[in-house]
Amino acid sequence: MARGKKIYEGKAKVLYEGPEPGTIVQYFKDDATAFNAEKKDVIDGKGVLNNRLSEFFMLGLGQIGVPTHFLKRLNMREQLVRSCEIIPLEVIVRNFAAGSMAKRLGLEEGTQLSRPVVEYSYKDDALGDPLVPEEYIAAFGWASPQDMEDILSIALRVNDFLSGVMYGVGIKLIDFKIEIGRVYDGDFQRLVVADEISPDSCRLWDIETGRKLDKDVFRRDLGNLTDAYSEVARRLGVLPKNATPITKPTLIN
């Protein structure tokens, strides 16, 4: 499919104008970054896996009535999505303490929380995506109180869906991040899940062994990232069990 002009290049994806007005082609790169791009590498095959996995999760959400920006996958690395105005927040949902929460509160990683915790970071790389209280969100006009009610309900539905899907394949959903976009249908505004849902933006632990199957493998140098993501994809049936390696044969056993 012909894609149009480049609109934006981020750390893991490139966005191009789509074939119809209101559409965008989202291209998944192999680049991995962590700690606000202080750590960088190119991981063969990551983009292909995330394109597939994000398609899988977005389609599943659509099936249970959670609106997303996803329209269709175009090829190995590209998907067509609805163009939307991204609300400048990282919406983070946590079921178990890990990462920045574990550090901030001195909790052991993996401590179960008594209820899911939803928190918001302001999307600004130069500031390092600071955690912000909800009052800031209204005060600075990033989202209205009505938007925040809708965002909370979407975040919790995504959490229930992803937790269940992961539990079904022996994986514990520790936490994840989503982004929300506004789309306009005539005069009406709707909120949709946008960006991507992939092991780049979740923490996923094997229930039996505790093995990490997400981007912490890269952040913390715990092994081969493509192996970890392929394992998630295989368990979900997104990659057939005996899939031909999509990257260098040495990377996937």
Nearest to 77 by CA among 34, 30, 33, 43: 30
Spatial separation of the C-alpha atoms in residues 210 and 208, rounded to whole Å: 6
Closest residue to ligand TMP, Cβ-based?
99
By CB under 6 A, the count of residues binding ligand TMP is 12
The smaller minimum CB distance to ligand TMP, of residues 37 and 207, is found at 37
Which range touches ligand TMP (CB under 6 A), out of 46-54, 68-76, 91-99, 161-169?
Answer: 91-99
Q: How far is the CB of 64 from ligand TMP (least distance, A)?
A: 21
Q: Does 88 bind ligand TMP (CB under 6 A)?
A: no
Q: Does 13 bind ligand TMP (CB under 6 A)?
A: no
Which range touches ligand TMP (CB under 6 A), out of 107-115, 137-145, 155-163, 200-208?
Answer: 200-208
Amino acid at 89: L
Amino acid at 80: L
Q: Which two tokens stand for residue 28?
A: 């998944």
Among 62, 67, 88, 99, binds ligand TMP (CB under 6 A): 99
Compute how many other C-beta atoms are within 10 angstroms of the C-beta atom of residue 71: 18
Spatial separation of the C-alpha atoms in residues 26 and 80, rounded to whole Å: 6
Q: Does 92 bind ligand TMP (CB under 6 A)?
A: yes
Q: How far is the CB of 39 from ligand TMP (least distance, A)?
A: 12
Spatial separation of the C-alpha atoms in residues 248 and 41, rounded to whole Å: 16
Give the chain's length. Answer: 253
Q: In the window 126-185, what residues touch ligand TMP (CB under 6 A)?
A: 129, 175-177
Among 100, 189, 224, 247, binds ligand TMP (CB under 6 A): 100
Tell me the backbone φ, ψ of residue 203, rounded to 5 degrees: -110, 125
- Buried/exposed code over 74-85 (b: 16+ C-beta within 10 A; e: otherwise): beebbbbbbbbe
Nearest to 143 by CA among 195, 186, 180: 180
Among 50, 198, 201, 230, binds ligand TMP (CB under 6 A): 201
- Asked whether the beta carbons of 82 and 185 are under 8 A apart, the reply is no
The smaller minimum CB distance to ligand TMP, of residues 103 and 248, is found at 103
Among 30, 203, 213, 233, binds ligand TMP (CB under 6 A): 203
Nearest to 252 by CA among 27, 32, 49, 50: 49
The smaller minimum CB distance to ligand TMP, of residues 18 and 47, is found at 47
The smaller minimum CB distance to ligand TMP, of residues 219 and 234, is found at 219
Spatial separation of the C-alpha atoms in residues 90 and 84, rounded to whole Å: 15
Which range touches ligand TMP (CB under 6 A), out of 43-51, 78-86, 95-103, 222-230?
Answer: 95-103
Which range touches ligand TMP (CB under 6 A), out of 13-21, 38-46, 77-85, 195-203?
Answer: 195-203
**Residues making contact with ligand TMP (CB under 6 A):** 92, 98-101, 129, 175-177, 201-203
